[in-house]
Structure 1
Amino acid sequence: MSYLDASNMTGGYGRADILHGCTLTVERGQIAVIVGPNGAGKSTAMKAVFGMLPLRGGSVMLDGTDITAMSPQDRVKKGMGFVPQVNNVFPTMSVEENLEMGAFIRDDDFHDTMEQVYTLFPILKDKRHQNAGELSGGQRQQVAVGRALMTQPKLLMLDEPTAGVSPIVMDELFDRIIEVARTGISILMVEQNARQALEIADRGYVLVQGTNRYTDTGKALLADPEVRRTFLGG
Structure 2
Amino acid sequence: MLEVTGLQSGYGRVPVLRGVDLALQRGECIGLLGRNGMGKTTLLRAIMGELPTWGGQVVKDGRSLNGRATQLRAKSGIGYVPQGKQLFKLLTVQENLRMGCVKNFSAASARIAEVLTLLPRLVPLLDRPAGMLSGGEQQLLALGRCLCGEPDLILLDEPTEGIQPNICDEIIDVLIHLRSEKSLSIILVEQDIDFLWSICDRVLAVDKGSIAKTIDPKADGSTEEAKAFIGIEG
TM-score over 0.5 for the pair: yes
Q: For residue 23 of structure 1, give the secondary structure of its aligned residue in structure 2.
A: strand
- TM normalised by structure 1 equals 0.92
Distance in 2 separating the partners of 1:229 and 1:192? 13
Q: Give the superposition deviation at 1:100.
A: 0.5
RMSD of aligned Cα (Å): 1.8
The answer to whether the aligner puts 1:212 opposite 2:211 as a matched pair is yes
* Structure 1 letter corresponding to 2:83: Q
Does the C-alpha gap of structure 1 residues 126 and 64 become closer, same or farther in structure 2, counting only changes over 3 Å?
same
Q: Which moved further from structure 2: 17-26 or 106-115?
A: 106-115
Distance in 1 separating the partners of 2:103 and 2:221? 39
Q: Which digits, 9 at most, give the CA deviation of each residue in 1:133-170, with x for residues without a partner? A: 11111111111111111111111111111111122322
- Unaligned runs of 5+ residues in structure 2 are none
Identify the residue that residue 88 of structure 1 maps to in structure 2: 86
Q: For residue 218 of structure 2, give the secondary structure of its aligned residue in structure 1.
A: helix
| Aligned residue-pair number | 232
Q: Which digits, 9 at most, give the CA deviation of each residue in 1:166-221, with x for residues without a partner? A: 22322222222212222211111111213421331012111011110112433238
Identify the residue that residue 196 of structure 1 maps to in structure 2: 195
Q: Which moved further from structure 2: 219-228 or 34-43?
A: 219-228
Q: Which moved further from structure 2: 188-197 or 224-233?
A: 224-233
Contact map agreement 1:195 1:222 (CA 8 A) in 2: no
Distance in 2 separating the partners of 1:26 and 1:93? 35
* Structure 2 letter corresponding to 1:204: V
Q: Give the superposition deviation at 1:116.
A: 1.6
Q: Which moved further from structure 2: 108-117 or 60-69?
A: 108-117
Distance in 1 separating the partners of 2:193 and 2:104? 35
* Superposition misfits of 4+ residues, deviation over 4 angstroms: none
Q: Which digits, 9 at most, give the CA deviation of each residue in 1:83-108, with x for residues without a partner? A: 11115211111111111111112154
- Unaligned runs of 5+ residues in structure 1 are none
Q: Give the superposition deviation at 1:52.
A: 0.9
- Give matches, 1:117-156, under 5 Å: 117-156=115-154
Q: Give the superposition deviation at 1:26.
A: 1.6
Q: For residue 192 of structure 1, give the secondary structure of its aligned residue in structure 2.
A: coil
Q: For residue 68 of structure 1, give the secondary structure of its aligned residue in structure 2.
A: coil
